[in-house]
A and B are shown apart, each in its own frame.
Chain A
Amino acid sequence: MAYVPLADRDHEMELHHPHTWIGKWVFCQDHKVIAIQYGSIAIFTGLVGLVLSLLFRMQLGFPETADFIDPSFYYQAVTMHGMIMVIYLLTALFLGGFGNYLIPLMCGARDMVFPFMNMLSVWVFLVSVIILMASFFVTGGPTGGGWTLYPPQTTLAGTPGHDMGIVLMLISLAVFIVATTMGGLNYVVTVLQYRCRGLTLMRLPLAVWGIFVATILALFAFPALLVAAIMMLFDLLLGTSFFMPAIIESGTPLDHNGGSPILFQHLFWFFGHPEVYIVALPAFGLVSDVLSVHARKNIFGYRMMVWAIIAIGGLSFVVWAHHMYVSGMHPYFGFFFATTTLIIAVPTAIKVYNWILTLWEGDIRLNAPMYFAIGFIFTFIHGGLTGLFLGNVVIDLPLSDTYFVVAHFHMVMGVSPVLVVFAAIYHWYPKMSGRMYHEGMAKLHFWCTFLGTYAIYLPMHYLGFLGVPRRYYALGSTDFLPASAQDLNTTITIAALFVGASQLLFLINIIWSLRSGPKAGPNPWGAASLEWQTPDTPPVHGNWGDSLPTVYRWAYDYSVPGAHQDFIPQNTPESEEPTVDAEHFDPDTDGSKADV
């Protein structure tokens, strides 16, 4: 089969137009519906992870009140919280949710290349979530071995969930990897092959670049987790000794011999570090677009931004052992991995500079998505800089396994990406639903989340300096921890409860606005990229009506000198630049204004 010319593509793709409710919302092959399914499952799972975190924070902050939390449940909650947030919320939401929604729209395609496989992907993802949740109901409960699942600990009697919980966790991860691979192949091929006429790679919005590179990372990094999971299952169920050395379990020697626990850590982090960027790169991309649109200015240094995404993606495969400085691996590795880790700071810093320089001399509309985007820059600077402490191998000696680590990675890959998630949901909500969210409630949500999380994590760094170890059910009595460390823990818990509760604002806003939000119009922000130029809002199945768009310019033609309005859509030919100023959504004239 020769290559199908683009003009014929409209006919090539057979879209399945479903007529029943089930066909439209359950077994649907439309990338937009699949995106919403992916996103909803991820957010629901994330809510479970959030509640778990509030429960174990109760134990840490109010050990007397929270006497219903025993050590066993504490470790299970900590473990499940970590795994859910990293894998089942953030990875699934960025790739399966935003990737699915935005890639075909931003590429000017009708759908993903393989819509049926796309549908399978979301269903397999749901199966993995169900298996994960099932572990709450089996004997022994879910695994409590920490989200890193280090053997031999996770499989021994001294760890909660060492019998069924860990098996279900490993199986769930394997199933999740199948889902990600199916989705990932789709995203990569769609970006390569289904861009519309005139849409060169360098005309793509950075959101697509971020998701594209992150998908490639996911395709190459998740196999390491799969390999580790398979080998661990062999050790666990078939009695092999890949990771299991000769050890004693509760006084009884086991039959294992000679295995290497550090081998597991290498495999895990060979996946685990790229995983950080699987979450971060889509966030970088999405926030770049939000900043650019609301600053009415092109993203500053687009080429550098693309190079940085590629450089970070490549480097992320050669820094993994910085999670293992104190693991007992050969200490000479420390020199290499400290160097590569600090090198990765350079392209990351460039991205930060360029975001700020995008604001410089802009025409900044302080809409809710912009609040979240600017909040992201602040938290990301904070989290990125603390990473320079931990990446520098000797500073990791005092700080690793303390609350400093917890605070660092929550700033950089918890709070920051989540702020982007909110920015992106508010930003694309009008396109997805056809209605505006409630601006005031969204801003209130921003203030609660932004200030609340900083109140959680800034003090937590200092607990880490003090030497408070992570994953302690109770601090107990020590000579060096002042009693006020517990007070700080209590404060942090109060802030966490506040942040947790304030997420209701988001849920209420999103659900309420679906029916009652004001109608949004096709392009309320005056954005130039393709997804805002669809003939219908929300876009219907097939996205583009009768014919596919043609792209004449990059995605960032904002405030072009000589143009009559401050943005030129990507599909506007040079000769037809519009002359009428489009109406922007302006929070200042919006009735729901609430600049708290």
Chain B
Amino acid sequence: MALAVVVVLLVVGSIIFHFMQLYGGPWYFTELAADWGTIDFTINVTFWVTGFVFVVANLFMAWCVYKFRHKDGQKAVYEPENHKLEIGLTVFTTVGVIAMLAPGLFVWAQFVTVPEEADQYEVLGSQWQWQFRYPGADGQLGAADVSHVTPANPFGINPDDPNGQDDVVVNEPNMHLPVNRPAHALLRSHDVLHNYTVTQFRVKMDLVPGLVSYLWFDPTVEGTYDILCEELCGIGHFVMRGSVTVESQAEFDAWLASQPTFAETQAISEPDMAAGQAAYAICASCHGAQGEGNQALNGPKLAGQGAWYTERQLRYFQTGVRGGEGDTLGAQMTSMSMTLADDAAIRNVAAYIESLPDTPLDPTVTGDVENGRKIYQANCAACHLDDGRGTWYTDAPSLAGMSDWYFVTQISNFGAGIRGLHPNDHYGEQMVAMATAMSNISEIEDVAAYINTLR
């Protein structure tokens, strides 16, 4: 009895909940931003068919439970089968299935057939970043392969392929697309499975190392949308984010022109060590003549850090990505970084710093090394590596032998959202999320103490 009532209530409640979401509730499909209304149509058809079955079957069951519950003197009817009824139900079900499947297959045929006029672009996934490549003037993407990957050529573009020279490479997780132009995404991965998903476009596909997969869509609404990875790709899966901006053709062309081509990225001249040394003179006052750091002046050790990382941080200080609100010590670096006039100056000084002798510092932080080891190896080593040296591939700086007190400050800043949440800090946001692996200051110190043993 109670059971019958509850089943009815659950059916009614489910329907009410559904319609609440359908009409303005917060938990329903996001607004469609691509020309895939056909997918939404198929979903609606399926909702009507399955919804009908859900309501009818459950209400009938509830009614049976109510009507035929045991009463004194009641006896069940003996009816082994009713073939006609069963055949009828089978036919009815088959019709319902066809009603859902037919539009589904029709739309799938659209999805697998890429329109000829679609513009190609490449999505490259690697642990745990998105990068993008556009074909350039010749309309063709150059051949690319894991074997060509170097820090200077993260896409692994074959340097001998003439088609690749004018490819526009976007070395950050934000991409742009022109509105109302069908876009044909070619998907490639350098390590594990990833999945390129923009919820508003409705379509997604895995990136598979060793082959090129694809999807296509026609973005119809201007705006900026999140790109998420939706295939488990390791510990950083949930922080593998990016964005796609859909804008007018003119805006898109301007953006694309501002991005470097592959040839340009390969033509960058060797850094000038002498100029770097000269520029470093001003840094030496806080960071030490050999880049060994000076805790009293809050200058962390720089020697031993990869040039790619030092460059990026200098640009962040220059553009206000770091050193913002709450980061008073960082704010000092904002003005200091301004002394470097251009990209070449940044490259020179970063290269000079990389050439300085890397002498591990004496520990200043103490903590539970064993606990630190556990936390580090489970969570940090995936990017910063077991030896704590970091790698450009995961955008992870070296930690081993660096200033441990600076590590503690920076992790605390990530944890407090002081560092890493600036919209242009594409890599810091990952650390904001990962810093939760250390739940309080003493755990941060434990990890610092463990890193001190890596030297």
Flag the segment in B66-74, B165-173, B400-408 that touches A.
Answer: B66-74
- Encoded as 1 (CB less than 8 Å from any A CB) or 0, chain B from 54 to 79 comes to 10011011001100111000111111
| Complex Cα gap A248–B14 (Å) | 47
| A392 partner residues in chain B, CB cutoff 8 A | 42, 46, 100-101, 104
Cβ–Cβ contact A327 & B206, under 8 A:
yes
Shortest C-beta distance, B109 to chain A (Å), equals: 8
Cβ–Cβ contact A595 & B232, under 8 A:
no
Which A residue's beta carbon lies closest to that of B217?
A397
| Complex Cα gap A466–B231 (Å) | 17
Cβ–Cβ contact A479 & B233, under 8 A:
no
Interface residues of A in 30-86 (CB under 8 A from B): 63, 67-68, 70-73, 75
Chain B interfacial residues counted at CB < 8 A: 121
Cβ–Cβ contact A250 & B391, under 8 A:
yes
Which A residue's beta carbon lies closest to that of B439?
A67
Task: Specify which of B69, B89, B146, B238 is in contact with A366 (CB 8 Å cutoff).
Answer: B69
Task: Specify which of B207, B239, B378 is in contact with A141 (CB 8 Å cutoff).
Answer: B378
- Encoded as 1 (CB less than 8 Å from any B CB) or 0, chain A from 478 to 499 comes to 1110101100100000000000
Interface presence of B255 (CB below 8 A)? no
Interface presence of A566 (CB below 8 A)? yes
**Known A-B contacts A363-B68, A474-B436; A158 and B77 likewise in contact (beta carbons under 8 Å):** no
Interface residues of A in 504-562 (CB under 8 A from B): 556, 558-561
Task: Specify which of A153, A301, A465 is in contact with B29 (CB 8 Å cutoff).
Answer: A465
Shortest C-beta distance, A264 to chain B (Å), equals: 10
| Complex Cα gap A291–B80 (Å) | 14
Cβ–Cβ contact B78 & A465, under 8 A:
no
Shortest C-beta distance, A270 to chain B (Å), equals: 18
| B200 partner residues in chain A, CB cutoff 8 A | 480
| B21 partner residues in chain A, CB cutoff 8 A | 462, 465
Cβ–Cβ contact A258 & B210, under 8 A:
yes
Cβ–Cβ contact A71 & B434, under 8 A:
yes
Cβ–Cβ contact A395 & B101, under 8 A:
no
Cβ–Cβ contact A374 & B90, under 8 A:
no
**Known A-B contacts A346-B97, A363-B74; A471 and B232 likewise in contact (beta carbons under 8 Å):** yes
| A245 partner residues in chain B, CB cutoff 8 A | 209-211
Interface presence of A230 (CB below 8 A)? no
- Encoded as 1 (CB less than 8 Å from any B CB) or 0, chain A from 451 to 491 comes to 10010001100110111011111111111101011001000
Interface presence of A223 (CB below 8 A)? no
Task: Specify which of A70, A159, A342, A346 is in contact with B234 (CB 8 Å cutoff).
Answer: A159
Interface presence of A25 (CB below 8 A)? no
Task: Specify which of A153, A359, A365, A394 is in contact with B107 (CB 8 Å cutoff).
Answer: A394
Shortest C-beta distance, A520 to chain B (Å), equals: 19
Interface presence of B50 (CB below 8 A)? yes
Interface presence of B10 (CB below 8 A)? yes
Interface presence of A349 (CB below 8 A)? yes
| Complex Cα gap A416–B175 (Å) | 44
| Complex Cα gap A470–B233 (Å) | 12
Cβ–Cβ contact A485 & B206, under 8 A:
no
Cβ–Cβ contact A566 & B53, under 8 A:
no
| A68 partner residues in chain B, CB cutoff 8 A | 439
Cβ–Cβ contact B187 & A398, under 8 A:
no
**Known A-B contacts A141-B378, A332-B112, A566-B75; A247 and B191 likewise in contact (beta carbons under 8 Å):** yes
Which A residue's beta carbon lies closest to that of B234?
A158
Cβ–Cβ contact A397 & B39, under 8 A:
yes
| Complex Cα gap A93–B377 (Å) | 36
Shortest C-beta distance, B412 to chain A (Å), equals: 14
| Complex Cα gap A140–B233 (Å) | 17
Which B residue's beta carbon lies closest to that of A401?
B230
| B393 partner residues in chain A, CB cutoff 8 A | 248, 250-251
Interface presence of A303 (CB below 8 A)? yes
Which B residue's beta carbon lies closest to that of A354?
B86
Interface presence of B339 (CB below 8 A)? no
Cβ–Cβ contact A261 & B209, under 8 A:
yes
Interface presence of A578 (CB below 8 A)? no
| B42 partner residues in chain A, CB cutoff 8 A | 392, 394-395
Interface residues of A in 243-276 (CB under 8 A from B): 245-251, 253, 258-262
Task: Specify which of A140, A388, A462, A478 is in contact with B100 (CB 8 Å cutoff).
Answer: A388
Which A residue's beta carbon lies closest to that of B200?
A480
Interface residues of A in 63-122 (CB under 8 A from B): 63, 67-68, 70-73, 75
**Known A-B contacts A378-B10, A469-B197; A394 and B111 likewise in contact (beta carbons under 8 Å):** yes
Shortest C-beta distance, A403 to chain B (Å), equals: 10
Shortest C-beta distance, B436 to chain A (Å), equals: 7
| Complex Cα gap A360–B61 (Å) | 8
| A13 partner residues in chain B, CB cutoff 8 A | none
- Encoded as 1 (CB less than 8 Å from any A CB) or 0, chain B from 81 to 104 comes to 111011001100110010011001
| A153 partner residues in chain B, CB cutoff 8 A | 192-193, 232-234
| B391 partner residues in chain A, CB cutoff 8 A | 250-251
| A377 partner residues in chain B, CB cutoff 8 A | 61
Which B residue's beta carbon lies closest to that of A393?
B108
**Known A-B contacts A63-B436, A595-B2; A466 and B378 likewise in contact (beta carbons under 8 Å):** no
Interface presence of A234 (CB below 8 A)? no
Flag the segment in B221-229, B264-272, B322-330 that touches A.
Answer: B221-229
| Complex Cα gap A346–B90 (Å) | 7
| A26 partner residues in chain B, CB cutoff 8 A | none
Flag the segment in B289-297, B342-350, B353-361, B379-387 that touches A.
Answer: B379-387
| Complex Cα gap A478–B378 (Å) | 26
Task: Specify which of B7, B74, B187 is in contact with A374 (CB 8 Å cutoff).
Answer: B7
Task: Specify which of A331, A476, A488 is in contact with B241 (CB 8 Å cutoff).
Answer: A476
Interface presence of B235 (CB below 8 A)? yes
| Complex Cα gap A400–B215 (Å) | 15
Cβ–Cβ contact A365 & B70, under 8 A:
yes
| Complex Cα gap A158–B232 (Å) | 11
Interface residues of B in 94-128 (CB under 8 A from A): 94, 97, 100-101, 104-105, 107-109, 111-112, 126-128
Query: Residues of A at under 8 Å CB distance from B?
Result: 63, 67-68, 70-73, 75, 140-141, 144-146, 150, 152-153, 156-160, 245-251, 253, 258-262, 295-298, 300-304, 326-328, 331-332, 334-335, 338-339, 342-343, 345-346, 349-350, 352-354, 356-357, 359-366, 371, 374-375, 377-378, 381-382, 385-386, 388-389, 392-395, 397-398, 400-402, 451, 454, 458-459, 462-463, 465-467, 469-480, 482, 484-485, 488, 556, 558-561, 566, 586, 595-596
9 tightest CB-CB pairs across the interface, nearest first? A245-B210, A158-B234, A251-B393, A467-B199, A328-B213, A72-B378, A67-B439, A251-B391, A401-B230
**Known pairs A394-B38, A469-B230. 18 more at Cβ < 8 A?**
A150-B192, A159-B235, A246-B147, A328-B208, A328-B211, A331-B111, A349-B53, A381-B58, A382-B54, A394-B104, A397-B204, A400-B204, A401-B204, A473-B238, A476-B241, A479-B224, A556-B80, A566-B76
12 contacts between A and B (CB under 8 A): A72-B235, A158-B382, A328-B213, A350-B86, A350-B93, A366-B1, A374-B3, A375-B3, A389-B46, A397-B203, A398-B39, A479-B226
